[in-house]
Amino acid sequence: MKGPPSQSSHVLHCLPQEPNEKRNPSIKTNLGRFDSLVARHYPAVYNFASRLTDDPREAVLLTYRAFNSIRKQLWLPRDEIVVVRILLKAVVRAGVTTA
């Protein structure tokens, strides 16, 4: 029976990066940031959409479409007010296209 693998086994190890070399942010980090944005703003965006449509199912769809439409726009860090304005514009835009 074989023992535990030794340090000299055929395992690829990461090379250390230079201090001045820029790293690309991982997708996992971006998804975490987007998930926290959704958790923080979903109730307000849903409330706005439900007042706009007076139908809870339509409000859920508008909220979903709004968050999906801004997912690619949020890769840059932005001010919180700018994010809210983008979300509300996306709700209105989604409401106009479905009407």
Q: Which residues contact 86 (CB under 8 A, 6 or more apart)?
A: 70, 73, 74, 78
Taking only the tens place, the pLDDT of each residue in 65-99 is 888 888 877 666 677 888 888 888 888 888 877 66
pTM score, whole prediction: 0.58
Report how far residue 67's alpha carbon sits from residue 27's, in angstroms, rounded to the nearest whole number: 17
In this predicted structure, the answer to whether residue 35 has a pLDDT above a threshold of 50 is: yes
Sequence spans of domains, the chain: 27-98
Residue-level pLDDT at 70: 83
Question: Considering the chain, what is the average pLDDT of its residues?
Answer: 75
Residue of 20 and 40 predicted with greater confidence: 40
Q: Which amino acid is at 34?
A: F
Q: Which two tokens stand for residue 14?
A: 């990461």
Report how far residue 98's alpha carbon sits from residue 96's, in angstroms, rounded to the nearest whole number: 6
Residue-level pLDDT at 56: 92
CATH code of domain 27-98: 1.10.1740
